[in-house]
Amino acid sequence: MSVAGRKAEEGEAAAQVKTQEETPLVETPVIEAPVIESPKEMDHEEMQEAYNLSFKNIAEGAVVSGTILKISDSHVVVDVGFKSEGQISLDEFRDDAGNLTIKQGDKVDVLLERTEDKDGHVVVSRQKAERMKIWTALEKVYQDESIITGRVIERVKGGLAVDVGVRAFLPGSQVDLQPTRNLDSWCGQELRMRVIKMNRRRGNIVLSRKAVLEEEHFKLKETTLKELEEGKVVSGIVKNITDYGAFVDLGGIDGLLHITDMSWGRVNHPSDLFKVADEIEVKILKFERLEEKVSLGYKQLSEDPWLSAVERYARD
């Protein structure tokens, strides 16, 4: 090759190198592994400081995962990765029947109360960890306006105490759609409720069953209004009885069954034919959709006996 040819090739190669050097490279971030110094390179104080710093990633008051190392007659020893183990009372791991719910090697969530007590032990609690998780779940229920189920524990001043994982308060005015006089009758019942107020710092939770019933009532009423039409026969439940008739719940909306539309014969009082909670079939005589007024008939389900009497006497 001639000298001129070699110079030309060298020039092209130099240009390519320059181009590569000028092209910016997209670097992939590299996560560096922690550097662990050999004990020979650290004195005793430096080792102790590094050891203590290694536990600061987990703050007191946090829920951490631990492993059960040992179960004694009175305590459970739990390893949470600290320089010493934690001890928890055996009672925190028993169910309502008194049976143990854990075994050696199980993973458990515990609340780190203190990283070290006067004896150098880690102070942890399983019950407090469970309580903290319950509060976190309740906060989400409150924010999402979800429905929660709880069991009524007892009657208290102004309402009911309810177990929803933690103790909560259900005011008497929020138990039902109508005022409830005998609150004791609700004890032991499972209720569907909403959390309407809560304060985690004070440990206060206020519930409402009425809010759930109102929402269900509204949805049921919308459906019923769409289906109602004059002349249609529907089922309902007698809700209230007065001197002039009975109010029948048709599903979120009440209809009036007047005393004159109960029977083709004489009726002294509506209670002679019906009582509260009776499930009956009625005919819709009149339906005012805008006013949401419904007039019902019971006698209209059967033929007017006077008409057949007129025909019978006419034949005779």
Which pLDDT does position 100 carry in this prediction?
85
Q: How many domains does the chain have?
A: 3
H-assigned helices in 98-209: 126-144
pLDDT at residue 160 above 50? yes
Regarding predicted confidence, which is higher, 34 or 69? Answer: 69
Classify strands 254-258 and 204-208 as parallel, antiparallel or unpaired: unpaired
Of 168, 185, 213, which residue sits at a domain end?
Answer: 213
Give the mean model confidence (pLDDT) for residues 135-147.
94
Q: What does the DSSP 8-state code read for residue 127?
A: H
Q: Is 43 helix (H, G, I), strand (E, B) or coil?
A: coil
Which pLDDT does position 204 carry in this prediction?
94
Domain-located, residue 36: no
Domain-located, residue 19: no
Task: Say if residue 158 is in the same domain as residue 198.
Answer: yes
Task: Say if residue 252 is in the same domain as residue 276.
Answer: yes
End-to-end CA distance of the chain: 140
Domain-located, residue 56: no
Q: Read off the tokens for 136.
A: 């976190």
Task: Say if residue 254 is in the same domain as residue 277.
Answer: yes
Which pLDDT does position 311 carry in this prediction?
59
Task: Say if residue 196 is in the same domain as residue 249.
Answer: no
Task: Say if residue 124 is in the same domain as residue 151.
Answer: no
Task: Say if residue 73 is in the same domain as residue 108.
Answer: yes
Domain-located, residue 28: no
Domain-located, residue 52: no
Task: Say if residue 173 is in the same domain as residue 126.
Answer: no
Q: Which domain holds residue 162?
A: 145-213
Task: Say if residue 192 is in the same domain as residue 234.
Answer: no
Q: How many CB atoms lie within 10 A of CB 96?
A: 5
Task: Say if residue 300 is in the same domain as residue 266.
Answer: yes
Task: Say if residue 239 is in the same domain as residue 263.
Answer: yes
Which pLDDT does position 183 carry in this prediction?
95
pLDDT band at 44; cut points 50, 70, 90: low
Domain CATH code at residue 125: 2.40.50.140
Task: Say if residue 151 is in the same domain as residue 106.
Answer: no
* 162 close to 172: Cβ distance less than 8 angstroms: no
The model's pLDDT over 242-280, given as tens digits with 9 standing for 90+, comes to 999 999 999 999 999 999 999 999 999 999 999 999 999
Domain-located, residue 285: yes
Domain-located, residue 207: yes
pLDDT at residue 168 above 50? yes
Outline where DSSP puts E strands in 188-231.
190-199, 204-208
Domain-located, residue 121: yes
Helices H / strands E in the chain, number of each: 5, 15
Task: Say if residue 208 is in the same domain as residue 249.
Answer: no
The model's pLDDT over 66-103, given as tens digits with 9 standing for 90+, comes to 889 889 888 888 888 776 788 888 888 888 888 888 88
pLDDT at residue 25 above 70? no
